[in-house]
Structure 1
Amino acid sequence: MSPSPPLENPGNPGIPVGPIDTPRDLGRELKRWTLRGPRGPVKVAALAKRLGMSQSTLYAYLAGTTLPSVEALDELLAALGVPADAHRQLTTARDLLQRPRGGPREGCAPPAELPADPVGFTGRDSELAALDRAFAEGPPLVVVAGPAGVGKTALAVRWGHRARFPDGCLYVDLHGYSQGEPLDPADVLAGLLRGLGVEDVPVDVRERGARFRSALARKRLLLVLDNALHVSQVRPLLPGGPSCFTVVTSRTDLAGLRVQPGALHVDLRPFDPRDGVALLREQIGADVDRSAPAALRLAERCGGLPLALRIVAARARGGPSLEELAAGLGPGLDGFDVGDPDTAVRTVFSWSVRHLDERAVRDFRLLGAHPAHDLAPPAAAALLGTDPADAARRLDVLVRAHLVQHSAGRYGMHDLIREFAREQPVDGLDDALDRLVEHYTAETAAMMEVLHPTADRVPDLPVGVARDWVEAEWNALLALIASAARRGRAAQTARLGGTVQRHLDEGGRYVDALAILGHVHDAARAAGDRSAEAAALYHLGVAHLRLGRHEAAMDHHSRAIAICRGAGDRAGEAGALNNLGNLHERLGRYPEALAHYRRALVLVDDLGLRKGRAVLLLNIGVVHTRLGDLAQAVTAYEEALVTFSGLGDHGGCARTLGNLAEAHHLSGRHDEALRLYDRALALAREVDARGIETEVLNNLAAAHLSAGEVDLALAAHSRALDIAREVGDRYEQARALEGIGTARGDTGCRREALAIYRQLGLGEADRVAALLARDA
């Protein structure tokens, strides 16, 4: 265009005015009015505050890098006190600058670029409400982040269709995670400007950004920036003022955007099973209700991931029944594919990984190979072969990419993402898992020394810390032992399993014991370690005894004794004899039990095994109690208690106190018995010795009942029954049911107890049967 003539300046004729051919010329004029206008020099900071805009925006106007909107220029000139004629001429010059350079076409319809409202959308009520609140109250920027396939785009589009924006909606897929390359912000700005009706798009990216922000000034418009890769891809695309509402979706948390004033972050998580079934119902229809169990299994197998649920629904429509589909979805990701590579779960997950650096990819694959569901930071450091601080930094990369979850101080993965990670090859996997086993072996040994000590020393940790550690890590220990066994690491399996073994009986983990000790037994046999094989056998026998499998217990104990004698393992033989004595005691064969205990006592005394002597004295005391020799029982218990106490063995003390309390109760010393029971329960609970707690509760209930304290008896028996059912102790279940039946006069409970006693082949069945016959 031809140069414009100089403007007259009647308000201040002393200011020379040149032609205004560019935004920079307009900025020069505005800057002169801030310095020499009717109101004297005006500071930029104060002026920006008065106008309600940022200083950076005002500086951009004064520098001419951003052309102010008509409304912004009007307010600025009024604040500077520019006279009416000059005000009009400056705004006219501003209009002339914009129109030839591609301003919005006159009569251009508002953009309506949102994709179609997703069909079958369900759930997400709290997230939609959060977007509603942000729209009503601010902020103007929301980041929706979450893992691949969780439904971020669907949420943004559904909300956009619900909301009302008089100046339209702009939408762009930034391709941060897709088959193609991520879009360049410069290209995105060009497309957005064309969507707003701008004909002459500037070449310079900064000019495009300024033009875009000017075009959006004062507009009530929704901008959806979908599938963003990183902050630098998004920041140039953000509107400059508060009138527009922007929703950004990404698989990373875009932490840099969260520091924007008032920015809201919505963390989108997979559905719970109920909402997963609801999504299937929206997609499939009434078949979901007719096949509710199968639908629930499918929702759980999909891990609540909407993408996986929609794929399953697509396969179900006109295809196999839900029951067939649920049965056919085996391990791996092959079932989550309908023939479209762009929507297959495996492909979608791969886009989350391809932008990671080489070390982060390896960390992701190693973490996926961890056999348990989650792990704590020290274990993660061992797996990655680094220190905890470095591991935390490296894992934070995966957390921010929503490939790894970090909750309650532990790292884990969505089940389907873990399956994807395990499909990927990774160098050094065996070495990493070996480090993990060694880490857990050392940690577990330290915790077992606190809970079930073998040496006469003060524990390094509080008992509560050790108990909490074992509870938190138990599933990881189970998985790691099984993994070591599968990988043929016989020595590692035996060492870690043997360390855990101390907790199996006192902790009431009888079913887990069968699996763990089975692996330990097989590993010991493979290594030719006869003593370790025998130890695994007699501990397996204990687990079978607790579960009421008496024939299996007898077989395991007998085989253990034979192996120990053949190998000259006198300590192992003593342990097997003790456990065989436990079995005879359970079966009511008290003379045989006492004989086995005494033979074992000779062996442990010869070997100087203090804890072994305490265990055997405790068991001898129990037999004397059953035979009515209460004085001898008390003597044995008291010596055992001194030894357990000296060793710091809280579990041993708890069991001994419980049996000593029973002896006092049977001797008529009720108050002393109750005091001892209280001490026994406190110690058992302190070390999470649930098996011991169950025994003590049943004995305590019997004491309350004999004293006529029926309510207290029922409370103790009921608690014992709950724990016994949880840990699988059939004998203690029967004892609790019998006690409840006696306290209530409930023949139903007695019949349940009778059935269990008969299944176990125990003499108590005759007693209960006689009571039932008497009451009939």
Structure 2
Amino acid sequence: MGSDTIGSVARRHRLRLGLTQEELAARTGLSARAISRLEAGRVSQPRLPTVRLLADAFGLRGSERDAFCAMANPATADPAMTDPEPRTERKVPAELPPDAFPFTGRRREIDRLDAVLSGISDQPTALVMSTVTGPPGVGKSALVIHWAHRARVGFPDGQLYLNLRGYHPTRPMPAGDALTALLTGLGVAADEIPVDLAQRTARYRTEVADRRLLLVLDNAATEEQVVPLLPGTASCRVLVTSRDSLPGLVAFYGSHRIELSPLPPSDAAQFLRRFIGPRVDVAPDAARDLAQLCSGLPLALRIAAELAVARPESPLDDLVTELRDRHSRLSMFDRGAQPGGIGAVISWSLRRLAPEAVRAFRLLGLHPGSTFDAYALAALCGVDPGTAREIVGRLARSHLVLVAGRDRYDMHDLLRRYAASLADRGDDPADRPAAALRRLYDFHLAAAAAALDVLYPAESARRPAPPAGSPELRFDDPDAARRWLDHERGLLASAAAARDVDGWADRASWLSDALYRYLDGGHNADALRIHGNARDAAVLRADRAAETRALLGLGAAHLWRGELDEAAGCFRRSLELCQDGVWRARALNSLGVVERRLGRYDSAARVQQEAVALAADNADVTGEARALNNLAVTEHLRGRSRAAADHLDRALALFSQAGDRTGQANALHNLGKVEMLRGRTAAAADRLGRALDLYRRLGNLRGEATTLDCLGVAHTTAGQTDRAADHFEASLTIFGRIGDPAGVASAYNGLGEVARARGRPDVASVQHAAALESAAGSLEQQARAHRGLAVAGRARGDQVDAVEHYKRAADLYRALGAAEADEMLAELAGLGRG
């Protein structure tokens, strides 16, 4: 292969097959952007497993395959396939939680795990897996984590651990989230993780291929949770825990099942001896009775032993008498609800805690999230965060909550279920579930307001005030604010949907109004939930103003999803309801965007001009700026670049006056597009680069993707096809992630234009065809795709195909009122088919 780099050879093979980078990504499980970086020469020696995947995709055989694989370096980490920053060695994950103390017994089960997972398989290519099953609280997690710590030296490439939360009451972990967590643990950067679930699974299996890894999948509910997470090669070992027997894993993947039973009396007594100390030897009969009352369940034994340690002055016989009494009185509760005597053990432990800790435990059963912090506990209990930290520390020392990370906590499913069963037993009305949840949701609203003030300070004066009296949470910088919103977005959506909690309508309306700008950055699914609940709340209250605002948010979410009819319906309904000039202007502005998407440029311009005038009349500076910005886009598409530039200059000045950074980014982005229309590529790249920087600092995924797409066009125009392809691939990944079909179509069209510029009409046809599949909601992208297919067909010598696509492009451009219609007719005439 001479002096060729592996990137240039890979590109040559890909183009030989007529594959796009995205299609090659789908074949290999690598991300499109990783392939783009490889082809651009940003990594010179990728890992051997990666190169083998590429060789398979290219169909290489014999000496050609050997020569291609020889360009890899199996000892060097592959930054193109993981982090964008160069690294000297591959990340070795070490994710096992701490080993439980004391760990007692289970010798037979440990020997079986040794035999299965450390032994030699009779089928060297088959995945080796073991599934530990049993009732809740029996010690499944403790067993596999203990074994994993003993065996970790046999897995030099690392140990991955994941709690699948299969029996969490509201939030079991979806397979897609699990794959993201595993890939992150392997060192894969966020922007390298594929959007599609199948591609994400393929990428994960590529990462773990030929690595000596241990994977622990804890607390699985179903086979469907587990199967996408299974490695594809026998070099890895897998440990799964579940309350279910998961027969599919045994039948189809040969998993070795170990059914875990409660500890036998001798092991249970040894557990207590190691935890409590010599007092067990002084009263062996009491220790035996204590173990029996705990039904041999390690979770119950641990809680009971902790209580005995906390009461060194009490003989074990007295503790056993107390527990036996609790067990008798709670036996009906335990029957069918809690395994063995664990309900009595928890109840017994709670009796020895201070009332505020018992109350906190009870209210934590209401928390709908997966983990919580001291601020959330403070809100549930109506106390200050310092007091909440003291309380959660006591609960953790009593083994009633678990430490789940820095300043975050979790509860065992059994404990959560028991706590929830007690949640409505408080005598104080302030302790009722609805009241506690309202405090929790009000805290999240107040914290969201603080985060939004940091992220979008220009809009703070217009945001509704959050509920007063919640624990105060401050954010030092925009990154911290955005991380909090991203982490708690699911709970905020739950708050908007909590119709049985007093104040739901006010809360739903507040969330819709306050989160609009944040959600508009690419969180379409949550936007539909939050704005939809706000709309329903407003209808119930006959609040026309609130319904108008919610409809604008709901319409925007539909618009970005390409659902133009639904979007137009929302915007028109908001106009029917609203008499306020500010909100009417915003509804008109949004309706103009729909008209533009439908190719009705003249209608769009009229509506947006009305929006500009109405916003100005009502002194709505940002509303006027946004309407000017959208009007400029329409004028740009009408071929009126001078008018577009004037509108954008005015919009940028107004956004700057208001301190609206999102608006400034939007205006800079559109000014870049206008500069491209004028042929001023350098100026266009400058403005687009400034917009991209702002969007990234704001965490606005849609803005980032759209600007990357435009930068791709600029570089294509300048003949810089490698840089253009990089930008289009990056924008395609983000558009796919946030669910923007028009954006996906634009990126594919851009890649098709890059292929045409490189003299590859066959590849261009594939890209433009992909664009056409995604462009149902955008006449502009449909026309662009047909034009690309026509040009590619003509270059291939397929005149019939070229004529067909030129005709379709001409019809679409004519419907759009665009000058390109005449260009298409001229091309047809040149083919003799005008």
TM-score band by shorter chain is 0.5 to 0.7
* 2:375 alignment partner, one of 357, 375, 378: 378
**1:628 pairs with 2:639:** yes
**1:408 pairs with 2:406:** yes
Name the residue aligned to 2:419: 421
Deviation at 1:431, TM superposition (A): 2.1
Deviation at 1:430, TM superposition (A): 2.1
Name the residue aligned to 2:784: 767
- Residue 546 of structure 1 contacts residue 729 of structure 1 at CA under 8 Å; is this kept in 2? yes
Q: Which amino acid aligns with 2:374?
A: P
Q: 1:484 to 1:618 in 2, by over 3 A?
A: same
Name the residue aligned to 2:447: 443
Query: How far, CA to CA, are the matches of 1:635 and 1:676 in structure 2?
Result: 15
Q: Which amino acid aligns with 1:561?
A: L
- Residue 366 of structure 2 contacts residue 423 of structure 2 at CA under 8 Å; is this kept in 1? no
3-state SS in 1 of match to 2:562:
coil
Q: Which amino acid aligns with 1:402?
A: H
> 1:477-513: per-residue Cα shift (whole Å, max 9, x none)?
12222225666621122123321122111x2111211
- Residue 512 of structure 2 contacts residue 530 of structure 2 at CA under 8 Å; is this kept in 1? yes
Q: Note the aligned Cα RMSD (angstroms).
A: 4.1
**1:172 pairs with 2:269:** yes
Q: Which amino acid aligns with 1:388?
A: P
> 1:571-610: per-residue Cα shift (whole Å, max 9, x none)?
2211111110111111221111111111112221111111
Q: 1:692 to 1:501 in 2, by over 3 A?
A: same
Name the residue aligned to 1:127: 146
**1:547 pairs with 2:551:** no
- Residue 338 of structure 1 contacts residue 344 of structure 1 at CA under 8 Å; is this kept in 2? no
Query: How far, CA to CA, are the matches of 1:679 and 1:559 in structure 2?
Result: 37
Name the residue aligned to 1:688: 699
Q: Which runs of 5+ in 1 are unaligned?
A: 1-112, 134-146, 162-168, 177-181, 196-224, 238-336
- Residue 496 of structure 2 contacts residue 504 of structure 2 at CA under 8 Å; is this kept in 1? no
Q: 1:704 to 1:345 in 2, by over 3 A?
A: farther
Query: How far, CA to CA, are the matches of 1:488 and 1:455 in structure 2?
Result: 24
Deviation at 1:723, TM superposition (A): 0.9
- Residue 377 of structure 1 contacts residue 391 of structure 1 at CA under 8 Å; is this kept in 2? yes
Name the residue aligned to 2:666: 655
Q: Which amino acid aligns with 2:717?
A: S
Q: Which amino acid aligns with 2:108?
A: D
Name the residue aligned to 1:594: 605
- Residue 585 of structure 2 contacts residue 611 of structure 2 at CA under 8 Å; is this kept in 1? yes
Q: 1:399 to 1:341 in 2, by over 3 A?
A: closer
May I ask how many residue pairs the two structures share in their alignment?
A: 504
> 1:606-654: per-residue Cα shift (whole Å, max 9, x none)?
1111111111111111111111211221111112112212222221111
- Residue 581 of structure 1 contacts residue 593 of structure 1 at CA under 8 Å; is this kept in 2? yes
> 1:120-140: per-residue Cα shift (whole Å, max 9, x none)?
76685663475799xxxxxxx
3-state SS in 1 of match to 2:409:
strand
Q: Which amino acid aligns with 2:421?
A: E
* 1:493 alignment partner, one of 486, 496, 508: 508
**1:719 pairs with 2:727:** no
Query: How far, CA to CA, are the matches of 2:619 and 2:380 in structure 1?
Result: 40
Query: How far, CA to CA, are the matches of 2:308 and 2:343 in structure 1?
Result: 25
Q: 1:402 to 1:773 in 2, by over 3 A?
A: farther
Query: How far, CA to CA, are the matches of 2:745 and 2:590 in structure 1?
Result: 21
Query: How far, CA to CA, are the matches of 1:734 and 1:358 in structure 2?
Result: 60
- Residue 170 of structure 1 contacts residue 192 of structure 1 at CA under 8 Å; is this kept in 2? no
Deviation at 1:399, TM superposition (A): 2.3
Alignment of 1:217-236 (within 5 A): 227=302, 229-230=304-305, 233=308
- Residue 456 of structure 1 contacts residue 647 of structure 1 at CA under 8 Å; is this kept in 2? no
Query: How far, CA to CA, are the matches of 1:498 and 1:422 in structure 2?
Result: 32
Deviation at 1:432, TM superposition (A): 2.0
**1:188 pairs with 2:188:** no
Query: How far, CA to CA, are the matches of 2:342 and 2:303 in structure 1?
Result: 19
3-state SS in 1 of match to 2:365:
helix
Q: 1:414 to 1:748 in 2, by over 3 A?
A: farther
Q: Which amino acid aligns with 1:496?
A: L
Query: How far, CA to CA, are the matches of 2:723 and 2:691 in structure 1?
Result: 17
Name the residue aligned to 1:643: 654
Query: How far, CA to CA, are the matches of 2:342 and 2:733 in structure 1?
Result: 42
**1:481 pairs with 2:496:** yes
Name the residue aligned to 2:95: none
Q: Which amino acid aligns with 1:366?
A: L
> 1:729-774: per-residue Cα shift (whole Å, max 9, x none)?
11111111111222233322221210121x3262432331243244
Query: How far, CA to CA, are the matches of 1:398 and 1:235 in structure 2?
Result: 13
Q: 1:492 to 1:463 in 2, by over 3 A?
A: same
> 1:251-290: per-residue Cα shift (whole Å, max 9, x none)?
xxxxxxxxxxxxxxxxxxxxxxxxxxxxxxxxxxxxxxxx
Query: How far, CA to CA, are the matches of 2:379 and 2:738 in structure 1?
Result: 32
Q: Which amino acid aligns with 1:712?
A: R
- Residue 496 of structure 2 contacts residue 530 of structure 2 at CA under 8 Å; is this kept in 1? yes
Alignment of 1:5-404 (within 5 A): 117-118=108-109, 127-128=146-147, 172=269, 186=279, 188-191=281-284, 227=302, 229-230=304-305, 233=308, 342-343=339-340, 356-404=353-401
Q: Which moved more, 1:455-464 or 1:659-668?
A: 455-464
Query: How far, CA to CA, are the matches of 1:677 and 1:403 in structure 2?
Result: 53
Q: 1:170 to 1:676 in 2, by over 3 A?
A: closer
Name the residue aligned to 2:435: 431
Q: 1:175 to 1:657 in 2, by over 3 A?
A: same
Deviation at 1:717, TM superposition (A): 1.0
Q: 1:737 to 1:474 in 2, by over 3 A?
A: same
- Residue 303 of structure 2 contacts residue 398 of structure 2 at CA under 8 Å; is this kept in 1? no
Name the residue aligned to 2:768: 750
**1:741 pairs with 2:732:** no
Q: Which moved more, 1:552-561 or 1:406-415?
A: 406-415
Q: Which amino acid aligns with 2:420?
A: R
- Residue 485 of structure 1 contacts residue 523 of structure 1 at CA under 8 Å; is this kept in 2? no
Q: 1:587 to 1:351 in 2, by over 3 A?
A: farther
> 1:266-324: per-residue Cα shift (whole Å, max 9, x none)?
xxxxxxxxxxxxxxxxxxxxxxxxxxxxxxxxxxxxxxxxxxxxxxxxxxxxxxxxxxx
Q: Which moved more, 1:398-407 or 1:709-718?
A: 398-407
Query: How far, CA to CA, are the matches of 1:585 and 1:194 in structure 2?
Result: 78
Deviation at 1:436, TM superposition (A): 2.2
Deviation at 1:174, TM superposition (A): 6.8
Q: 1:129 to 1:689 in 2, by over 3 A?
A: closer
Query: How far, CA to CA, are the matches of 1:342 and 1:126 in structure 2?
Result: 22
3-state SS in 2 of match to 1:411:
strand
Name the residue aligned to 2:477: 462
**1:512 pairs with 2:526:** yes
Name the residue aligned to 1:75: none
Q: Which amino acid aligns with 2:783?
A: D
> 1:642-675: per-residue Cα shift (whole Å, max 9, x none)?
2212222221111111111111122122112111
Name the residue aligned to 1:320: none
Name the residue aligned to 1:613: 624
3-state SS in 2 of match to 1:477:
helix
Query: How far, CA to CA, are the matches of 1:408 and 1:186 in structure 2?
Result: 35
Q: 1:381 to 1:587 in 2, by over 3 A?
A: same
- Residue 452 of structure 1 contacts residue 650 of structure 1 at CA under 8 Å; is this kept in 2? yes
Q: Which amino acid aligns with 2:532?
A: G
Query: How far, CA to CA, are the matches of 2:732 and 2:689 in structure 1?
Result: 18
Q: Who wins on radius of gyration, i.e. which is larger?
A: 1
Q: 1:700 to 1:339 in 2, by over 3 A?
A: same
> TM-score, length-normalised on structure 1?
0.58
Alignment of 1:574-585 (within 5 A): 574-585=585-596
Percent identity, please: 31
**1:503 pairs with 2:518:** yes
> TM-score, length-normalised on structure 2?
0.54
* 2:487 alignment partner, one of 472, 476, 482: 472
- Residue 371 of structure 1 contacts residue 476 of structure 1 at CA under 8 Å; is this kept in 2? yes
